[in-house]
């Protein structure tokens, strides 16, 4: 039996790392002079929505006052792909004695105002539109749930949501647009708060909860789960809009953009 050292010496270290899953699934390059492989059907991205409010802001500064990649992805679905990400620097410290409706609305409004005040006189030019949002998960007892602060707390929160049946998700959206006139206060603002009820599957086991926590997907999310990702395996059903649970009710957001960009805002 060879020694471990001789076995190790026989192992050849590869000069290059193994191919990724993505590259391994691609066909090998054809040899020079070989006929080209038949073209496969191409999937074309949908054309952008042709709406007056969206056309007004194309090519202008549109700011998302949030670092959430999920909100950015949702706005891209309505054609707002070239947006600036400028998170609010204001502390989110409103008292938990507020109702969930008041809490998210005040927080989202503060985010929008904070970024508006910082960017209205920017060297880049004033923004055409600022979108801010805030989402909270509320337990069946009315407690506003924050992002989990530890693995132990994360597990406890998810078990509580499973055992209590339904819980609620509130998202507030605030859209602001500077006015060209000097009408006080100098901007138009529209707000909306949306509520969605979510029910975890009571058959979810402790082992599944632990396995989900270990993925860390929900570590940076209020309530400790992401319904748009692996966290969907915890959810039995919802009553309301799915994208509201993700973090931005898209239909309502588009309606706010249309309202805030209306010309009659100049005359109010």
Residue 234 has pLDDT above 70, yes or no: yes
Could you give the angle at the alpha carbon of 199 between the alpha carbons of 163 and 70, nearest 5°? Answer: 120
Largest CA distance in the chain: 91
pLDDT in tens, 154-199: 999 999 999 998 999 999 999 999 988 756 678 999 999 999 999 9
**Helices 206-215 and 151-164, packing angle to 10 deg:** 130
C-alpha 184/C-alpha 186 separation (Å) is: 5
pLDDT in tens, 123-132: 999 999 999 9
The band of 93, judged by pLDDT with boundaries at 50, 70 and 90, is confident
What pLDDT is attached to residue 26? 53
DSSP line for 87-113: ---S-----TTS-HHHHHHHHHHHHHH
The mean pLDDT value for 135-163 works out to 94
What pLDDT is attached to residue 23? 47
The mean pLDDT value for 240-249 works out to 96
- The verdict on whether 207 is a catalytic residue reads no
Per DSSP bridges, beta strands 166-178 and 129-138 are: antiparallel
Q: Which of 190, 166, 186, 163 is nearest to 176 (CA)?
A: 190
Q: Could you give all domains of the chain from N- to C-terminal order, each with its CATH number?
A: 52-267 (3.90.950.10)
Q: How far is CA 166 from CA 138, 155, 205, 209, 232, in A?
A: 10, 17, 17, 17, 15
For the ranges 27-41, 74-88, 101-115, 221-235, the lowest mean pLDDT is seen at: 27-41
C-alpha 193/C-alpha 179 separation (Å) is: 24
What pLDDT is attached to residue 268? 46
Residue 7 has pLDDT above 70, yes or no: no
C-alpha 240/C-alpha 74 separation (Å) is: 17
Q: What are 144's strand-pairing partners?
A: 138
Backbone angles phi, psi at 234, to 5 degrees: -90, -20
Query: Who contacts 91 (Cβ-Cβ below 8 Å, separation ≥6)?
Result: none
- For the beta carbon of residue 206, count every other beta carbon within 10 angstroms: 11
pLDDT in tens, 30-73: 555 555 555 666 667 778 889 999 999 999 999 999 999 999 99
C-alpha 80/C-alpha 153 separation (Å) is: 36
C-alpha 216/C-alpha 221 separation (Å) is: 10
Catalytic residue among 50, 134, 163, 239: 134
H-run or E-run covering 176: strand 166-178
C-alpha 247/C-alpha 226 separation (Å) is: 10
Residue 2 has pLDDT above 70, yes or no: no
What pLDDT is attached to residue 45? 72
């Amino acid at each position: 039996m060879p020694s471990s050292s001789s076995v190790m010496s026989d192992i050849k270290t590869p000069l290059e790392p193994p191919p990724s899953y993505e590259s391994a699934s691609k066909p090998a390059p054809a040899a020079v002079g070989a006929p080209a492989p038949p073209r496969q059907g191409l999937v074309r991205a949908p054309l952008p929505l042709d709406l007056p409010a969206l056309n007004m802001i194309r090519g202008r500064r549109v700011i998302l006052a949030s670092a959430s990649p999920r909100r950015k992805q949702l706005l891209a679905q309505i054609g707002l792909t070239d947006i600036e990400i400028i998170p609010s620097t204001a502390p989110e410290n409103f008292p938990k004695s507020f109702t969930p409706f008041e809490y998210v609305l005040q927080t989202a409004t503060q985010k929008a105002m904070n970024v508006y005040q910082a960017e209205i006189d920017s060297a880049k030019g004033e923004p055409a539109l600022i979108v801010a949002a805030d989402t909270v998960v509320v337990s069946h007892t009315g407690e506003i749930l924050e992002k989990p602060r530890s693995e132990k707390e994360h597990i406890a929160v998810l078990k509580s949501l499973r055992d209590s049946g339904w819980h609620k998700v509130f998202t507030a959206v605030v859209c602001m647009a500077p006015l060209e006139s000097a009408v006080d206060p100098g901007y138009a603002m529209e707000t909306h708060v949306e509520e969605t009820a979510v029910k975890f599957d009571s058959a979810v086991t402790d082992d599944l909860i632990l396995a989900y926590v270990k993925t860390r997907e929900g570590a940076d999310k209020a309530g400790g789960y992401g319904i748009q990702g692996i966290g969907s395996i915890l959810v039995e059903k919802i009553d309301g809009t799915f994208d509201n649970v993700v973090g931005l009710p898209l239909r309502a957001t588009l309606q706010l953009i249309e309202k805030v960009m209306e010309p009659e805002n100049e005359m109010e």
